[in-house]
Structure 1
Amino acid sequence: MANEINGFGPRNLGPNGSVDSSRGRTEAKGESQRASGSATNGIKEDDAVTLSSGASQLQEMGRAMAESAPFDQAKVDRIKDLISQGEYQIDSSRVAEKLRQFETL
């Protein structure tokens, strides 16, 4: 839509993909009205969107993430209990190794 607001949407490109500057603002405005669904001279254009397979996968992953919990509540509760009992052990070498791996990404 932003392209049509500026008057240089896909419909304003010439046969070789260059901008057709011979078209006036009123003509571009008329196209914008037709694209939004208004009938002009009996012609009605329908817009369609097709997602690539990668975009479809991202959309599905987003849905799955929105439906799942952002963290493992049972694990958080277990660690809280260990901390409150003074039994939570921190393996500093493991923490250091994970930090090193993260930094080399």
Structure 2
Amino acid sequence: MLLKTGDWVKGTLRDGELIIGYIDSLDVYEVVKVTVVTSDNHEIIGKTVPILSGSVKKLPKSKVNNKAQIQFLIDLALATGDEEWFIDLSSKLNTMNELVSQL
């Protein structure tokens, strides 16, 4: 499994906390730094934590099928400061809105 910066992952920290987030950086010692978006430990949400690459699993890319999903992901892109993703999602939402207005 090849991990790269920006990949969404889920994993378990040493203390057993479950996390979902995206890879902020990787190092040569097989440690990834994950920015936590959700966790059962609310104190680490929004923080970047180091975790062994073997303790994370890459999440599959999701297929966005409807307007509500895109709007949720736009909020997530804003919350994580991912401008490129925000622009991509906004473009998809605008395309959907144009198609609906042509009906």
TM-score (norm 2): 0.28
Higher alpha-carbon Rg: 1
TM-score (norm 1): 0.28
Higher relative contact order (CA 8 A, sep 6+): 2
